[in-house]
């Protein structure tokens, strides 16, 4: 693949812009897998093996990924929208190449796999792989998602059993039933719960606690499938998902 096409596929701009970056000496390529230092390339049409390629663009290290799979530790006060209404968009936390990766459809860049409320924190997946997004979002997959919940009032055993057996979310035009598949009392006091869902209804955790006469004061997603939010990933930070990470999400 030509170097300008590699850069284009990774979101560094149009092919003309990518060719200009190369010709102006802004792109350096690691010519071998374990090369200690990259080499400046000025031929934008140079043919390279894309898979496993590492390079620098304007001094920033990058690696080639045919599809983008990333995890973001979503901070509070952010919206999972390209066009936020009140709070900053989570997409502003990502570098521009991730936001500009070309797509066949009108939408460009990585997209959030589902959404978290503006005040909800924690694990958020993003990708430009439509099949992956659909698979992870589909209610038919029954992918477990774990939330750390801080309740306003202590939940007693009766309320917990109601959440496990299912409560009716009657604030919809057509009331539906929702249930947690596991609830762990994280602090022994009934105020901090670890709640596992296999569904993804709108504001589900908040609506479920409201249905048993309680209220969510804090909400944090810590796990999807067998993949846990990395402990060293600070709020607002992102990283690529590894092959092992993707297996945990399968």
* Residues taking part in catalysis: 117
Tokens of 69: 């799979």
Would you give the DSSP letter of residue 24?
T
- In this structure, are residues 164 and 179 in contact, taking their beta carbons and an 8 Å threshold? yes
Q: Which residues pair with 219 in a beta bridge?
A: 149
> 3-state SS of the chain: helix, strand, coil percent to 5?
25, 30, 50
Residues in Cβ contact with 159 at an 8 Å cutoff, skipping those fewer than 6 apart: 212, 213, 214
Instruction: Count other C-beta atoms under 10 Å from residue 212's C-beta.
Output: 17
Instruction: Count other C-beta atoms under 10 Å from residue 6's C-beta.
Output: 23
Nearest to 169 by CA among 214, 137, 217, 201: 201
Tell me how far apart the alpha carbons of residues 113 and 124 are, in angstroms, rounded to a whole number: 7
Tokens of 212: 């048993």
Q: Which residues pair with 112 in a beta bridge?
A: 126
């Amino acid at each position: 693949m030509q170097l300008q096409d590699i850069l284009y596929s990774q979101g560094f701009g149009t092919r003309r812009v990518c060719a200009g970056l190369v010709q102006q000496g802004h792109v350096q390529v690691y010519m071998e897998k374990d090369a200690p230092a990259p080499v400046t390339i000025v031929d934008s049409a140079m043919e390279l093996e894309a898979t496993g390629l590492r390079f620098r663009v304007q001094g920033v290290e990058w690696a080639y990924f045919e599809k983008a799979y990333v995890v973001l530790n979503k901070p509070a006060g952010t919206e999972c929208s390209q066009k936020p209404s009140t709070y900053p968009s989570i997409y502003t936390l990502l570098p521009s190449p991730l936001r500009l990766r070309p797509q066949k459809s009108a939408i460009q860049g990585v997209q959030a796999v589902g959404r978290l409320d503006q005040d909800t924190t924690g694990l958020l997946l993003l990708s430009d792989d439509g099949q992956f997004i659909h698979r992870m979002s589909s209610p038919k997959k029954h992918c477990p998602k774990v939330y750390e919940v801080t309740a306003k009032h202590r939940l007693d055993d009766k309320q917990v059993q109601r959440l496990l057996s299912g409560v009716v979310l009657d604030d919809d035009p057509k009331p539906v039933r929702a249930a947690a598949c596991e609830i762990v009392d994280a602090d022994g006091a009934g105020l901090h719960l670890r709640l596992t869902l296999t569904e993804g209804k709108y504001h589900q955790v908040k609506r479920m606690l409201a249905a048993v006469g309680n209220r969510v004061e804090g909400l944090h997603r810590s796990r999807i499938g067998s993949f846990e939010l990395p402990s060293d990933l600070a709020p607002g930070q992102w990283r690529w998902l590894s092959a092992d990470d993707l297996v945990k999400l399968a």
